[in-house]
Chains A and B, each alone.
Chain A
Amino acid sequence: MKPDRLHVLWAAAAQAETPKPEAGFEERVLRAVRLERLAAPACLGEQIARLLPRVAVAAGLVILAGITADLALAHAAPDDLSTSLTRLSEQWLFAVK
């Protein structure tokens, strides 16, 4: 092997054409970028913003359930909560045997 054979190969290889981008290559990249954005984990702010509507709905449901329960109890037992608790404590906690 003569030392310059390597340089001959390099010089010839340097003339070789490299592959060219296919038509619409940029669109292909853009599609991949969009997918990347969808798949990427969002930052904390985005995650909270995304969760907020769900949190608001959940809070509304809890409030609604509380009001409904209160109304239902009010109909079932005419006493208010403090009266019921007082009675309960008298009967069970301070009951004189």
Chain B
Amino acid sequence: MGQVRRYQEPVAQSNRVVNEDVELLARIRNGAVDDYAEIVRRHQAQVFAIVGRFERDPHHCQDLAQETFIKAWRALDQFDGRVPFQHWLAKIAVHTALDHLRRRRRARNEVGFDDLGEDALEWLRAPASDPAPGQARELLDLAMRALSPVERLVITLQGIEGRTVREISELTGSSGVAVRVRAFRARAKLRRALEQLEKRVP
């Protein structure tokens, strides 16, 4: 299994950024609105890395990232500094992604081949080698239509991002047991959906 492309900063850099964030946020709270651009610059990579797991379209991704930063702005008074700002922001990004999944959820849950490229179909027919990253995302996006938004969120964070149950629990605000149960159900549904795809592939 290859290295997961997950956003992480080096520890020393992370500590420096945390301190600078605190100073910057204090200035913003005192009315220096323009300084919020610096906060966005510092954390946009992390926010895009999170919302990009749930939305492949670059334009929608920009909108989701912007929505995340606006929500953070609205809730800035509630940030008490007990956790690093980037962790707090990551929670907002995850909840924004969940809202997006709920909005986008289609009325029908059945799995079809409409949005699948020829390469992905080929891999389904004869999975001789590992799929290309793009193919894998196409296939997973399609199969994940069978999941509820929360299940999709949990299984993406666990399966693709490689996050632990504890991390997912902190990010989503759900209990560890709830995360485990949702991940278990999501895996089972996902396997069934992929089996369906394999059987029906033209």
Contacts and interface: CB of A to CB of B under 8 A. Distances in A.
Given A14-B4, A14-B162, A18-B61, A33 B133 contact: no
Given A3-B191, A12-B131, A18-B52, A29 B5 contact: no
B48 A16 contact: no
Contacts of A3: 191
Given A1-B194, A27-B37, A36-B70, A19 B131 contact: no
Dominant secondary structure at the A interface: helix
A30 B65 CA distance: 13
Nearest to B132: A12
B133 to A, nearest CB: 4
Contact of A26 (B40, B48, B134, B162): B40
Contacts of B40: 25-26, 29-30
A28 B36 CA distance: 11
Interface residues of A, number: 31
Interface in A7-39: 7-22, 25-30, 32-34, 36-37
Given A13-B136, A13-B137, A19 B36 contact: no
A28 B66 contact: yes
Tell me which of A1, A5, A9, A20 has the highest count of chain B C-beta atoms within 10 A of its own C-beta: A9
Interface in B92-136: 127, 130-136
A56 interface: no
B196 to A, nearest CB: 9
Contacts of B167: none
Tell me which of A7, A29, A32 has the highest count of chain B C-beta atoms within 10 A of its own C-beta: A29
6 contacts: A6-B190, A14-B133, A16-B136, A18-B48, A25-B66, A26-B40
Interface of B: 1-6, 33-34, 36-38, 40-41, 44-45, 48-49, 51-53, 55-58, 61-62, 65-66, 69-70, 73-74, 127, 130-137, 139-140, 159-162, 187, 190-191, 194-195, 198
Given A16-B134, A22-B62, A32-B66, 14 more contacts: A1-B194, A7-B159, A11-B2, A14-B6, A15-B133, A17-B5, A19-B48, A21-B44, A21-B45, A21-B48, A26-B41, A27-B37, A29-B36, A29-B40
